[in-house]
């Protein structure tokens, strides 16, 4: 079996990202024999008692981790976070209304593009002037907009909102790449969504948590599959849901809970981020790419002062059994993604390799 080698590769992939080994093992077992049924999870009805229990728990566990009550509903939908770029304005922007967006990167830009097709979309702040290397902080939120859309963590450029805007209009957040990585006051948000494959589970399902009283107000005649209320009424099974990704997402949330929940992971994630940023700042060969105050604890972007050494550093990384460190093509250099399932030990290995590299090439 390959399970022992899997744990030896230090996986810094930006997404789909690392999952806990024990979750992968439980998921493998469920592919063959789910819940002791001697049937695969992949070959039973989503309406079976056993699967209905999975869906209910997967929805409830999100509410538990976010500490919200029954005024919120949780859905698991297909189409990725990218479909939510369209569904959010479609469900929350009134006919003749407007929405406000903060543009902090590639994903926010894509969200804005879709919203503009639905209605009047105002970009009230943007860090595009400096290639998205910081998070805009001073901006006026229009009180007549139907909602404000923000992106909590900029996966590609490596910035993260350390504080969320105080706002009187509904706050909507794309948390795809830092959901459940730190404590947030979820009750301040009307809608939180996340493509699961960064920090929550595997690709194929997208989590949407929405406050019920925000829905049904657009005046728009809604297409069923794009209507949150239709999915809510169907208990997130209006059509066949992505059964397996949802199950693995549930296992990943259970792993988080079992180990100490958000308080535990926030502390661990801070230790991981501190270790790598300290080394980037200390090491004479590397530098970070974003404003220090806005550095992401999830996606750490860094460059070599001598770019001609990139292939050499790649070799060092491969020899140390590290994977997924190449930066996004828009930024270049390197990106270490420190998602929840990445152990502190993997960061220590990266830091050691950077030190060795400095000894050889500085
Ligand atoms: C990856 C990512 C997306 C896109 O997710 P898909 O599920 O591929 O559509 C959106 N927003 C953020 C912040 C991301 O990191």
CATH number for 340 = 3.90.1150.10
Q: What is the pLDDT of residues 275-313, one digit of tens each?
A: 999 999 999 999 999 999 999 999 999 999 999 999 999
CB of 13 closer than 6 A to ligand 1? no
Q: Is the CB of 175 under 6 A from ligand 1?
A: no
The 10 Å Cβ neighbour count of residue 157 is 28
Last residue of a domain, one of 238, 259, 280: 259
User: Which ligand 1 atom minimizes the distance to the CA of 108?
Assistant: 11
Distance from the alpha carbon of residue 196 to the mean position of ligand 1, in angstroms: 9
Residue 168: domain span:
23-259
Task: Give the Cα separation of 122 and 102 in Å (integer).
Answer: 9
- In this predicted structure, the answer to whether residue 2 has a pLDDT above a threshold of 80 is no
Confidence band (pLDDT; 50, 70, 90) for 3?
A: very low
What Å distances lie between residue 54 and 42, 107, 123, 298, 309, CA to CA? 13, 30, 39, 28, 49
Q: At 352, is the pLDDT very low, low, confident or very high (cuts 50, 70, 90)?
A: very high
CB 343 less than 6 A from any atom of ligand 1: no
In a 13 Å sphere around the CA of 77, the CA atoms on its Cβ side amount to: 28
Strand 72-77 and strand 322-323: the pairing is unpaired
Q: Is the CB of 16 under 6 A from ligand 1?
A: no
82 lines ligand 1 (CB under 6 A): yes
CATH number (domain holding residue 52)? 3.40.640.10
Of 77-81, 101-105, 199-203, 328-332, the poorest mean pLDDT is in 328-332
213 shares a domain with 190:
yes
Question: What is the whole-number distance in angstroms between the Cα of residue 187 and the centre of ligand 1?
Answer: 23
Please compute the mean of the pLDDT values over residues 212-229 and round it to a whole number.
Answer: 98
**Same domain membership, residue 356 and residue 207:** no
pLDDT digits (tens, 9 = 90+) for 28-79: 999 999 999 999 999 999 999 999 999 999 999 999 999 999 999 999 999 9
- Which residue lies with its CA nearest to atom 12 of ligand 1? 176
- Indicate the pLDDT class of residue 330, thresholds 50, 70 and 90: confident
Residues 251 and 287 in one domain: no
Confidence tier at 8 by pLDDT (50, 70, 90)? confident
Instruction: Say if residue 1's pLDDT is above 90.
Output: no
Tell whether 9 is covered by a domain. no
In this prediction, residue 7 carries a pLDDT of 53
Q: Are 76 and 191 found together in one domain?
A: yes
Measured CA to CA, the distance from residue 238 to residue 16 in angstroms comes to 26
> Sheet containing 286-288: which strands, arranged edge to edge?
286-288, 299-304, 334-337
- Both tokens of residue 130? 């400096």
**Radius of gyration over alpha carbons of the chain, in Å?**
21
Report the relative pairing of strands 72-77 and 10-11 from DSSP bridges: unpaired
H/E stretch holding 72 reads strand 72-77
Structural domains in the chain (count): 2
End of a domain among 259, 279, 310? Answer: 259
Q: Can you tell me whether residue 310 is helix, strand or coil?
A: helix
Closest CA to 319 of 341, 347, 349, 299: 349
* Residue 60 falls inside a structural domain: yes
Residue 177 in contact with residue 15, Cβ under 8 Å?
Answer: yes
Q: Do 122 and 247 have their domain in common?
A: yes
* Cross-strand partners of 77: 206
Is residue 316 located within the same domain as residue 223? no
- Whether residues 303 and 351 share a domain: the answer is yes
Are 30 and 133 found together in one domain? yes
**In terms of domains, do 283 and 254 share one?**
no
How much distance in Å is there from the Cα of 25 to the middle of ligand 1?
A: 26
Q: How far is the CA of 115 from the centre of ligand 1 (A)?
A: 16
Cite the DSSP H helix spans in 33-179.
49-66, 80-92, 106-118
b/e code 255-276 from CB counts within 10 Å (16+ = b): bbeeeeebeebbebbeebbeeb
Tell me the pLDDT of the chain averaged across its residues: 96
Same domain, 235 and 320: no
CA distance 138 to 152: 16
């Amino acid at each position: 079996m390959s399970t022992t080698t899997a744990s030896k590769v230090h996986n810094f992939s930006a997404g789909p990202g690392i999952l806990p080994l024990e979750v992968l093992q439980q998921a493998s077992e469920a592919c063959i024999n789910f819940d002791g049924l001697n049937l695969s999870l992949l070959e039973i009805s989503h309406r079976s008692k056993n699967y209905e229990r999975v869906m209910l728990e997967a929805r409830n566990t999100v509410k538990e981790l976010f500490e919200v009550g029954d005024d919120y509903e949780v859905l698991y939908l297909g189409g990725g976070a990218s479909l939510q770029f369209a569904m959010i304005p479609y469900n929350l922007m009134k006919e003749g209304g407007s929405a406000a967006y903060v543009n902090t990167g590639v994903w926010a830009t894509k969200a804005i593009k879709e919203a503009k097709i639905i209605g009047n979309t105002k970009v009230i702040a943007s860090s595009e002037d400096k290639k998205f290397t910081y998070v805009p902080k001073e901006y006026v939120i229009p009180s007549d907009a139907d909602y404000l859309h923000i992106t909590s963590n900029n996966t590609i450029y490596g910035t993260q909102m350390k504080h969320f805007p105080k706002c009187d209009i509904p706050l909507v957040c794309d948390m795809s790449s830092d959901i459940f990585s730190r404590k947030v006051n979820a009750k301040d948000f009307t809608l939180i969504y996340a493509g699961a494959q960064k920090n929550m589970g595997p690709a194929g399902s997208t989590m949407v948590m929405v406050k019920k009283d925000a829905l049904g107000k657009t005046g728009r005649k809604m297409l069923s599959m794009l209507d949150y209320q239709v999915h809510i009424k169907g208990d997130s099974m209006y059509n066949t849901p992505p059964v397996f990704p949802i199950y693995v997402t549930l296992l990943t949330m259970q792993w988080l809970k079992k180990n100490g929940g958000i308080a535990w992971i926030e502390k661990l994630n801070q230790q991981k981020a501190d270790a790598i940023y300290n080394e980037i700042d200390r090491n004479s060969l590397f530098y970070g790419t974003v404003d220090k105050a806005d550095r992401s604890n999830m996606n750490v972007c860094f460059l070599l002062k001598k770019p001609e050494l990139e292939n050499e550093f790649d070799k060092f990384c491969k020899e140390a059994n590290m994977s997924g460190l190449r930066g996004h093509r828009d930024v270049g250099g390197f990106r270490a993604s420190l998602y929840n399932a990445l152990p502190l030990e993997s960061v220590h290995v990266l830091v050691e390799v950077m030190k060795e590299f400095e000894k050889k090439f500085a």
